Structure 1
């Protein structure tokens, strides 16, 4: 036996590299590819693969196959599975012993289903069990000896390697269980934190301009229902905040609120994230995982940027919305869910339907009640209130005194178009707090270049007193800005309203409220 297990210097080197791979490669998928490729070299074979055992389904499934010079990771749509009583693998599991076969055509234990499926002709093989002290995990194959025949020595060597591979796979499974458990706990923690808050009230959405009041009226009409809502607006207009206000003030407020950005993940990962996956559904799926629809069952799921979702995923989403049933990736069982959908997009979905980039049937399914948050350039009445809110928020977060805006800085903020909307304004105020470095006043030079550019050619606004309540300071600044703009437009109220981003009636209301004589 000692002679049979003698290793040449080359074999010993390769054998050592395989063992070292378990400790030097952090990615499980990369590790399996490396190990199986080196097994091919050591044993001079055409292919190697691992089939894991799923005791719940009474099946084997391949997590990795290396055939010829090609490495193929089987994803969930093509993951090969077969009953655990079939083939050589079934015999190895039943007898708990390795076997080598030099002519599979003459062995009744051999199952040729995968040869026909994957265009790979198996002639000979070694199949060894992957077992730890805890459990039977699966089998390791060596396929098609290139020269000569498999020997008892080859089988013994593969058995030695199988022990280390089995332990690594078990550790990976435990790690996967732990990671999925932590993932679920984190989701639940986020849900509980959100629900423990006093709730997202209308006051969370800052704004009193006419476009915002119209939006509030729409939200009030849908807030007491579980109607599907589509929030369609530009980037940075606070679509997720609107979704939370609708959820946490409605009949589902005590149920989960779960959010996902449809444009942040590739299709296969998005499907797994939304619908979950079965154990063995794809490489690395060593445990079963719940999807966000199941986590949100009974509550609300918010699908941000739904317009980014691939067409093939749109079909699967439509099925879930219509039937209330989903099928986890790699599973043959459906699960019932009951969720309220709130979707958002920065695209015009009607145009996307006309271009063939979004399914018409899904569009009508999600566009039950539409809310369109106005862009900041159409609600300039709210800019100063928002800016002051963000200044206070970020100053307190950074433990700095809350600065005030100089009239010149306010004028620049009001005249800028804010293509990035509220999010861009918030980022600008974060920058301003940093630039102020603890000083009391935000001056124009503390704003970013794109906003300071507006200074050229503008009229100067006199300094105002910063003494007194915040509302009075804002009132003084608004009065001076409107007065200055009226003078610049020679008293023409229509042109003044347009320059300030107000409706004509909105300007007249402000003139009356501020006591401006014009």
Structure 2
């Protein structure tokens, strides 16, 4: 016993021997001596555990004296280490609560319910009177939270802006803020705000508070809240990823069971109406006029008319009429004879002849000259064409589909387009809707283009976040489907491999549009003029600081403020650089 460590080793060997020989009495003595040595070595937790198990062994052979010694040693250790034992019990209880909360939250499949329950669980484990759960679902400025959930708290309370400022600071700096009896909230005794961090990215913050009295958050509780926050944001991200995968799978299933027009993506009522018209006129020689904005897929509709109809074994020819001068366009459309004009060194077939038996698609028909209009009208009336420089007419069997991004009737009214040609073209008229008017089609198109460019660029991208998809659905898309395709190609190119496309992967044009929408909503939601002005001022200062790379002198000059005036406003609105 002079050397406790050596004695401990010998006793361990003896205990193994007595266990193997079922020598309960000797085993109980060895356990008791080992507990005494561990007590000397201040390993009180192990000593108590051995004495607890030893009591059961002693009771098997009924030695009252040894049982009494065992109990006395256990009581002495418990008395000496009472505070530590109580702490250990609290720690064990908190850990049990931690694992119960994690299990309960993992079973929730609704995101908003998960966030609500997360806040409730954190408030319960900390003994908080209330709190705020602020969440971003992508890298954004701390001005706009995707989710703000409250517990026993209202945005109408006086300290609301201060609390949001604390959440923004925690989000920006990725650090816990611990405020006892904050000066801005006399009724609050203690405020703690912890970051929600996953894979080195801060996605939000949780603020909890205790009201008056002696209640406060211990250091142990604050550490537990930080650990719980990390667990919660991981659960939230896992749920969001799983939900996105399900949503994408449903969209892909719709794409795979898409209608017979494989190259035209759309399930909206407007597109279904277009598909119905195509089926009705596909086998007729009737001229079709497609009117709609640029980038809406008018040529795809023309190709669908051709490939679904009885002319599909013949040529489909397309000509953009706005790209060529009058003489050259007429030569392209109707052909020319050798020597008919400078440079005509051989006879050339026109596109109408090449398209004989098939379909001829004339894009931007509103741009053709009066002379070309007259020749086109002759063809539509007689089915005949005449090459430039020729006196001979030829019969051709061509189905004409024309497209324009302006109203032909408006061109007629202005005298730029022949009325008789208009009526010849306007037999079957199909209005091709702008993308913003095609309800429900944007997610289909976005996933279609996502898969297309994942394959083309050979880059694995997990999908598109709900927030990014919401932006795509709310944006006006002046360039229509073509612009959406370009935006998705850009996002796939910029996104990190294996990640989801986030709002920040979109172009400045799309992001600025959404920022303006958010500003309008924020201002319209303010209770009075003062709040609206403050919100606008805060936004302008933030954007200017970002544009000036947080150079205060330059930003102050841009905003028309003194440098000290700018510093005061930065402090007032709690604006700090993201990486500080």
Higher helix share: 2
